[in-house]
Structure 1
């Protein structure tokens, strides 16, 4: 404190006693008593500043000695744990789907081998066979062996289109489904691989696939072997929980595409031109239908034009399990499901 040489004013604190000091910090006029109190208050504030200083110093020491305890480090650790858990879950889902696909694939080959076994047993018992049959059996056995070793209907892929530094892995299964249940004057031929419309001259008919789908991604290929000039074939899916009907475009839970005009069926209701759909199908075209249970959508590709169309599936309207659902209308129309 400095002794004032100017005209003395009253103490700012008590407003009674003449001041004898002016605080150079706050420029307050203070009497002796309050000047001492002011100095004591400043001393207490100094101690607080020193304490803050010491605490900050200790924080710096702690951070240097244990940098892994920093809050931002904890945030990274939590991200790592959560990301690892997600990766483990995706991998486990892929393993489950792969095992299911391999089991189905092996069972299909076993069924084919069983039929060959029956034919060979009968041939040996009857001792009634010729060279061409031997050639045919040999070819069938080689095909079974090749299919067993290659598992060409199953693949493990990584999504190269992802913007993340870790690509997503997924299993795709090209299912060996067959036509199984039908309604209307439609005929199933060649052990479930072909459907033919037998109504004259036309009538709605439909057929379901044999298998059910609830997980993963499944691809099917169809060849349009006969196609009436007026054009009406339906490719899609139906929930197993819904009764099979002959008209896919009016059946609740049906989703798919009509090869006539540009009609897309969403829950049994036609939506022309949905998502830009344009029908360009011709006789002998091959179409690929992808049933993606994981993403809850289906897609259709005409392999000749390479045009691809996709529609989402509302699970509240079309719950799992899903089944293949195809419809024919004109007499003679014929579709083959490819292996």
Structure 2
């Protein structure tokens, strides 16, 4: 009978000798009195460590709150503000100088005409040689000059349809600040410059049967966070040329857009374009038909990455925001006839 009782006894999980009489509701393990105290002491130490971590996080929060005005993105906004002010002041100064130049020319012309009338009047009086018709002519000319001086000169202010300064805005990657970001960010092809059509609601671009460069841009603009895009080369000749990269939204569209000052990216002929310059040759960037290309835009680190799934190779370019200011846009350029590129999906 005694042996049966002994066999049913639950032992301490630590020493496996003493009878376990205390069960921890947290971990469901059984302890003897001694190791029950040790277990509670260990939990106490863990709690102390958690409190230390809490204090550390709180300290970091305080430091960031106090230094919020030094946030990197605030510096970007400040830089945008200063550059915009410089552009506006320069445009205003040019307009002022042009207006003053025209005004001075107009004033000098009026002075010359007035002097001519005065000379005629003086000569007529000195020689006592003038008639009613000459008096009428002088009167009419003087009246015309008076009207011209009283009325505004024939000049007006015109504003270009293209804005001098692009608007800056904040894109929230935190869904608590922007609930629409619960779904992945997607992009589509929206604008072209050249003989290319956009199909399937912006997911497919089709080059026509003629050779020649064509620029294609995405719809969205990016100035914060990381954004990944997948492309499939549905159709491309063996000698076909194609470019993937980014460009500043403020850059005007053009056929040879890969040469634009704010263009960054790679071509299928192993070329690297940095600020519009064909600076390097890299045999690891070749692109063929049926390849899947991944383009990662990292605004925070100011860089872009290109990956070819077939080659399992990734290339990286650092972006100089002085050459390629935010916001950025997807930027492709096609050359070979009948090139087809599809954007598959994109995500954060």
TM-score between both structures, scaled by the size of structure 1: 0.51
RMSD (Å), alpha carbons: 3.2
Change in 2 beyond 3 A, CA 1:104/1:242: farther
Cα pair 1:277 1:309 within 8 Å, conserved: no
- What does residue 278 of structure 2 align with? 270
- Within the alignment, does 1:245 sit opposite 2:321 as a pair? no
- What does residue 85 of structure 1 align with? 63
Offset, 1:280 = 3.1
Gaps of 5+ in 2: 1-54, 75-170
2:333 equivalent among 309, 327, 331:
327
- What does residue 173 of structure 2 align with? 97
Structure 1, residues 273-292: CA drift from partner, whole Å, max 9, x if none? 3xx55233221110100000
Determine which structure has more spread, i.e. the larger CA radius of gyration.
1
| In 1: Cα distance, 2:181 partner to 2:307 partner | 24
Offset, 1:246 = 1.6
Gaps of 5+ in 1: 1-76, 107-150, 154-174
Cα pair 1:235 1:327 within 8 Å, conserved: yes
Offset, 1:102 = 6.2
Equivalent residues in 2 for 1:54-203 (5 A)? 81=59, 85-86=63-64, 96-99=172-175, 103-105=179-181, 151=183, 153=184, 175-200=185-210, 202-203=211-212
- What does residue 243 of structure 2 align with? 234
Cα pair 2:271 2:278 within 8 Å, conserved: yes
Structure 1, residues 33-77: CA drift from partner, whole Å, max 9, x if none? xxxxxxxxxxxxxxxxxxxxxxxxxxxxxxxxxxxxxxxxxxxx9
Structure 1, residues 264-307: CA drift from partner, whole Å, max 9, x if none? 0111111223xx55233221110100000000000000112210
Offset, 1:81 = 3.7
- Within the alignment, does 1:298 sit opposite 2:287 as a pair? no
| In 2: Cα distance, 1:248 partner to 1:100 partner | 38
- What does residue 28 of structure 1 align with? none
Secondary structure of the residue aligned to 2:63 is helix
Offset, 1:85 = 3.4
Moved beyond 3 Å, runs of 4+:
77-90, 100-106
Cα pair 2:249 2:327 within 8 Å, conserved: yes
Aligned length: 192
